[in-house]
Amino acid sequence: MSGFEQLFPGRLPKLIMFDLDGTLVDSVPDLAAAVDKTLLQLGRPPAGIERVRDWIGNGVRVLVRRALANGMDHSAVDEESTEAALAIFMEAYSGSHALTKVYPGVRETLKWLQKMGVEMALITNKPERFVAPLLDDLKLGRFFRWIVGGDTLPQQKPDPAALFFVMKMAGVPGSQSLFVGDSRNDVLAAKAAGVACVALSYGYNHGRPIEEESPALVISDLRMLIPGSSAGCLEQGAEITLPDIKSPSFRESIVVVTRKLWMKVMKALARWRWRA
């Protein structure tokens, strides 16, 4: 039984919101390269890929602070040091993303969902300025109608504000929505928004098994969501059908939600404001 069949018997969700890093793409090599370049420029030893992998998930500011602290606890890092290191990191990471790769099964799944008429959105804690260029480089941007970056709204995951925003824009309730991520922040945001969460076991969760966060479902390949899939690989010749699914008559262009819009929407989101 596929993931959709378990979570939405006999139908598909109308809206699926995806995390980016650790869910759709493995961005650790490029992020680690930028972190190490930052540390070296500050006269510090590089951190390396495996340590950076554990530090990802709370946005670049926290990533940089963890790099400066050389660990998860960054409470002792002062703001002056943070700002100086952040400026170096942002410059280092703004170059090529040649080391970032799309995970197996991602493109096939997104193409299938698009064909089935499912609306899709991207919600990431990565700064907005990096998201669209990366999606363009990887040829993933065309799948998403809404894209919310880590600085698009005042809040980041695990706050559910971005999920509420996208659901409001799509006109789809939480009961017909799904969030797909890989970390504790993703699961907490989905739960706070009243949305089922599917978690990928291969992602970045600070070195902890994602099962500990009790998402609705844990999978090891995005294709496991699709009816007709088997062990993460679509069965050869399998016909994938679901009842009452209509393809849209046209596709609207991608709407990138910029921070210029947040003032207009935050009043509407205020009643949903959640705090950890």
pLDDT tens-digit profile of 192-242?
999 999 999 999 999 999 999 999 999 999 999 999 875 444 333 333 333
Taking residues 123-137, what's their average pLDDT?
95
The pLDDT value given to residue 66: 98
Of the residues 19, 151, 159, 186, which is catalytic?
19
Tokens 């947040």 locate to: 262
Q: Which residues are annotated as a binding site?
A: 19, 21, 182
Least confident stretch, 43-47, 183-187, 201-205, 240-244: 240-244
The pLDDT value given to residue 1: 83
pLDDT > 70 in the chain, percent: 83
Taking residues 88-112, what's their average pLDDT?
95
Taking residues 118-125, what's their average pLDDT?
98
Q: Which residues are annotated as a binding site for Mg(2+)?
A: 19, 21, 182
Least confident stretch, 80-89, 140-149, 210-219, 254-263: 254-263
Burial 154-168 (b: 16+ CB within 10 A, else e): ebbbbbbbbbbbbbe
To the query of whether residue 159 is one of the catalytic residues in this protein, the response is no
Read off the tokens for 274: 């959640």
Per the DSSP assignment, residues forming a β-bridge with 148 are: 123
The pLDDT value given to residue 155: 96
For residue 192, what are the CA distances in angstroms to 29, 133, 187?
31, 30, 9
Give the pLDDT band of residue 15 (cuts 50, 70, 90).
very high
Secondary structure (3-state) at 229: strand
The whole-model pTM stands at 0.83
Mean pLDDT over each residue of the chain, to the nearest integer: 86
Are 126 and 133 in contact, with CB atoms under 8 Å apart? Answer: no
